[in-house]
Amino acid sequence: MILQAIRQFVFEEEGATALEYAILSSFIAAAIVTALFNVSQMVIQLFMTAIDGFPGGTGGGSGS
């Protein structure tokens, strides 16, 4: 009787749990994309500053 109640509870919550995990993972993915975008902008700025420090450095050119 208890085992049957546990099985019923698990099966009823399965869809909701999957949806919760999907929403949570989408928020995590969005946070990762935002963080990587911000870090990439900082790295680009760092390299541009370093290039400007060299004689003849343009800091924003195409490399030629």
**Distance separating alpha carbons of residues 24 and 11, to the nearest angstrom:** 21
pTM over 0.75: no
Residue 19: C-alpha distances to residues 8, 13, 25, 57 (Å): 18, 10, 10, 52
Confidence of residue 64 (pLDDT cuts 50, 70, 90): very low
The string of pLDDT tens digits covering residues 6-56 is: 777 667 756 677 788 899 999 999 999 999 999 999 999 999 988 888 887
**Residue 27 domain boundaries:** 1-51
Looking at the 3D structure of the chain, how many domains does it have? 1
Determine the pLDDT at residue 46.
Answer: 93
Q: What whole-number distance in Å separates Cα of residue 59 and Cα of residue 61?
A: 6
Q: Residue 16 falls within a domain, yes or no?
A: yes
* Amino acid at residue number 12: E
Domain assignment present for residue 29? The answer is: yes
